[in-house]
């Protein structure tokens, strides 16, 4: 382990962390939002307690052994003078020639996952915000001497709507899935239950929502589930999703960017849970001024 700085901030770094057995870390928060991250890119987060989780709250061994089951997802189709390639950083084992480094802030307030491959460096940072919940900042840097064109899919997957408690998920996850409905309101994803999960003939409205949003994309379209991820990975045509039912939620931005030699492409995505109508509407209004946000 060594010390370094990123954007002027002090970090401890473990080089080639994929050569080590995965381990769990806690990220410090001054809010009611909690975050536990695995060194292999897996994580879970939420507010207050496990019953308000954004991603499935499970034991450490399950989180570490299934890093692709929930959390962050990035797929890059890279075109350069050397040809075309598909790159999925921090998914399964690193590709031949790829290197992975892990950084944790000296104060424990954030963790950075870095992978270099195909002349590119992809860094994504996890941290928490009292106002906006879980925040993931991404930087794709071109380390080569030529411009590259990247078509990408990036964001969160396996998001849990508000109202899916730890017990409900662990015992009846697919029953809860049947109650799920995900919609997009402009640049905001809303992940809800159509009603409380019950078999009683009584009113049971679900009045809270999980929300997700992202900024930094030129002309994005969005997916609300992972139904079309395999098609994107294969290079097939993928259509934007505005309403999805009976699936676990996702907030995945699709876009493309040309990155000049030595330049970077930056974006940010965030997710929060248990928002009421007023809070969700306020966020919709904030998203209308992305530069300020």
**pLDDT tier, 252 (very low <50, low <70, confident <90, very high otherwise):** very high
How many alpha carbons fall within 13 Å on the CB side of residue 156? 30
CATH class of 2-286: mainly beta
> What does the alpha-carbon distance between residue 79 and residue 57 come to, in Å, rounded to a whole number?
38
> What does the alpha-carbon distance between residue 244 and residue 223 come to, in Å, rounded to a whole number?
9
Give the residue extent of every domain in the chain: 2-286
Query: CB–CB of 155/255 below 8 Å?
Result: no
Average pLDDT over every residue of 242-264:
96
Quick one: what percent of the chain has pLDDT higher than 70?
A: 98
pLDDT at 217: 96
CA proximity to 110, closest of 18, 23, 6:
6
Q: 207-240, pLDDT tens digit by residue?
A: 899 999 999 999 999 999 999 999 999 999 999 9
Task: Output the CA angle 194-68-92, nearest 5 degrees.
Answer: 165
pLDDT above 80 for 41? yes
- pTM of full prediction above 0.85: yes
Task: Output the CA angle 266-244-218, nearest 5 degrees.
Answer: 20
SS (H, E, C) 192-240: EECCCCCCCCCCCCCCCEEEEEEECCCCCEEECCCCCHHHHHCCCCCCC
Task: Output the CA angle 189-272-167, nearest 5 degrees.
Answer: 105
Q: What is the residue-wise DSSP string for the chain?
A: -EEEEETTEEEEEETTGGGSPP-EEE---SSSEEEEEETTS-EEEEESSGGGBSS----HHHHHH-TTSSEEEEEEEEEETTEEEEE-TTSSSPPTT-EEEEEEETTSS-EEEEEEETTEEEEEEEEEETTTEEEEEEEEEE-SSS-EEEEEEEEEEEEPPTT--HHHHHHHHHHHHHTEEEEEETTEEEEEESS-S--SSS------EEEEEEE--SS-EEESSSTTHHHHHTT------SEEESS-EEEEEEEEEEE-TT-EEEEEEEEEEEE-HHHHHHHHHHTTSTTT-
**pLDDT tier, 204 (very low <50, low <70, confident <90, very high otherwise):** low
Q: 151-170, pLDDT tens digit by residue?
A: 999 999 999 999 999 998 88
pLDDT at 203: 66
Neighbours of 134 (CB within 10 A): 26
């Amino acid at each position: 382990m060594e010390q370094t700085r990123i954007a002027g901030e002090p970090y401890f770094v473990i080089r080639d962390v994929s050569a080590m057995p995965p381990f769990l870390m806690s990220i410090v928060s001054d809010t009611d939002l909690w975050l536990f991250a695995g060194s292999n890119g897996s994580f879970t987060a939420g507010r207050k307690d496990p019953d308000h989780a954004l991603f499935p709250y499970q034991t450490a061994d399950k989180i570490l052994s299934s890093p692709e089951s929930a959390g962050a997802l990035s797929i890059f189709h890279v075109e350069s003078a050397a040809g075309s390639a598909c790159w999925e950083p921090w998914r399964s084992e690193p590709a031949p020639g790829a290197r992975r480094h892990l950084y944790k802030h000296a104060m424990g307030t954030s963790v950075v996952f870095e992978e270099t491959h195909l002349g590119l460096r992809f860094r994504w940072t996890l941290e928490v915000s009292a106002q906006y919940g879980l925040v993931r900042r991404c930087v794709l840097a071109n380390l080569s001497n030529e411009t590259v064109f990247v078509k990408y899919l990036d964001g969160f997957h396996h998001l849990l709507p508000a109202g899916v408690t730890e017990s409900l998920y662990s015992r009846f996850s697919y029953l809860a899935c049947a109650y799920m409905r995900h919609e997009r309101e402009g640049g905001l994803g809303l992940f809800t239950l159509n009603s409380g999960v019950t078999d009683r003939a009584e009113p049971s409205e679900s009045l809270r929502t999980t929300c997700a949003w992202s900024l930094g994309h030129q002309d994005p379209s969005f997916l609300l589930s992972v139904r079309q991820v395999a098609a994107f990975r294969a290079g097939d045509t993928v259509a934007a999703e505005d309403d999805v039912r009976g699936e676990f939620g996702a907030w995945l931005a699709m876009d493309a960017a040309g990155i000049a030699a030595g330049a970077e492409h930056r974006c940010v995505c965030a997710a929060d849970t248990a928002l009421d109508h007023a809070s969700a509407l306020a966020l919709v209004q904030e998203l209308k001024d992305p530069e300020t946000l």
